[in-house]
């Protein structure tokens, strides 16, 4: 398929996990793509994972989504490289776990700064470019089943993702008459560095976590490519009648 031929795309969090999977999928479908991440080594790995005959359409940029100046600099560079923008995928995110009554406010602020404020900063920077897209600009944001399913020990993460839900709906309505679409992807448990590196409290009650992986494949975690294919549909013309909504991809965790 070549649904993204001639489409200019930015993917944040593209140095690993879901973001990397999305970048490689959209690149394989013809996108002119800027992969953005705070992890430069991860970006190098993304370039190396791309087929050699696709790398001429792939550029990378260092980006800290929680830093307004970094967002301004990185997006300006990306817009110049791409000559505009058609699709923004906000896949950058972090997860921190702990008992809510013990969580330092610095950790709370860090999670919201990356997951919620970072998404806002990218959207704010990209909107003027997206509404000029001849194809109709698209924003794909990332919520989580944590925003709907009461994940224990993840109050900051759940709150940040619930905020992304509300932000996406607001943006979708505000700019619908300018041809801009905004959609939330809601993953469940996906096998990435975020999930494998998550450290729960030593006394965590694992029975409270039982449904998080979902029911498909005996409760196995999903893979980044399970999300990437959905994003490719949403961000292409196949998703043209979708905006201001969520798509849950969780293996049936919230059935």
Contact 177, 248 (CB under 8 A): no
Nearest to 54 by CA among 93, 87, 25, 88: 25
% of residues, the chain, pLDDT over 70: 96
Cα(184)–Cα(142) distance, integer angstroms: 5
The alpha carbon dihedral of 172, 241, 248, 88 has a sign of: negative
pLDDT value for 207: 80
Catalytic residue numbers read: 157
Report, as an integer, the average pLDDT of 145-156.
87
pLDDT value for 191: 75
pLDDT value for 206: 79
For residue 48, what is the DSSP state? H
Nearest to 182 by CA among 118, 137, 220: 137
H helix runs in the chain, sequence order: 17-28, 40-49, 68-82, 105-112, 118-130, 155-174, 193-196, 224-235
pLDDT in tens, 35-91: 999 999 999 999 999 999 999 999 999 999 999 999 999 999 999 999 999 999 999
pLDDT in tens, 86-133: 999 999 999 998 999 999 999 999 999 999 999 999 999 999 999 999
Q: Given CATH 3.40.50.720, say whether it is the number of domain 8-249.
A: yes
DSSP result, 110-155: HHHIIIIIHHHHHHHHHHHHHTT-TT--EEEEE--GGGTTT-TT-H
Residue with tokens 């791309």: 50
More confident of the two residues 61 and 188: 61
SS3 185: strand
pTM given for the model: 0.94
Q: Is the pLDDT of residue 196 over 60?
A: no
Distances (CA, A) of 128 to 21, 84, 125, 176: 27, 9, 7, 14
Apex 17 CA angle, 194 and 128, nearest 5: 105
């Amino acid at each position: 398929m070549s649904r993204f031929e001639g489409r200019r795309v930015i993917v944040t969090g593209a140095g690993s996990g879901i973001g990397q999977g999305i970048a490689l999928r959209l690149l394989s479908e013809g996108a002119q793509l800027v992969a953005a991440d705070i992890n430069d080594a991860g970006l190098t790995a993304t370039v190396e994972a791309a087929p050699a005959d696709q790398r001429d359409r792939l550029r990378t940029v260092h980006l800290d989504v929680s830093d307004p100046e970094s967002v301004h600099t990185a997006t300006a560079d990306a817009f110049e490289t791409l000559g505009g923008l058609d699709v923004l995928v906000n896949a950058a995110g972090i997860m921190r776990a702990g008992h809510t009554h013990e969580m330092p406010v610095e950790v709370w602020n860090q999670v919201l700064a990356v997951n919620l404020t970072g998404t806002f900063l990218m959207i704010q920077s990209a909107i003027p470019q997206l509404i000029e897209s001849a194809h109709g600009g698209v924003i794909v944001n990332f919520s989580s089943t944590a925003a709907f399913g009461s994940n224990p020990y993840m109050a900051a993460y759940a709150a940040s993702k619930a905020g992304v839900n509300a932000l996406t709906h607001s943006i979708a309505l505000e700019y619908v008459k300018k041809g801009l679409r905004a959609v939330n992807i809601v993953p469940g448990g996906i096998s990435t560095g975020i999930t494998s590196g998550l450290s729960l409290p030593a006394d965590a009650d694992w029975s409270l976590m039982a449904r998080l992986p979902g029911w498909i494949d005996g409760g196995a975690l999903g893979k980044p490519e399970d999300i990437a294919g959905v994003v490719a549909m949403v961000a292409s013309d196949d998703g043209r009648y979708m905006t201001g909504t969520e798509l849950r991809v969780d293996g049936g965790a919230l059935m």
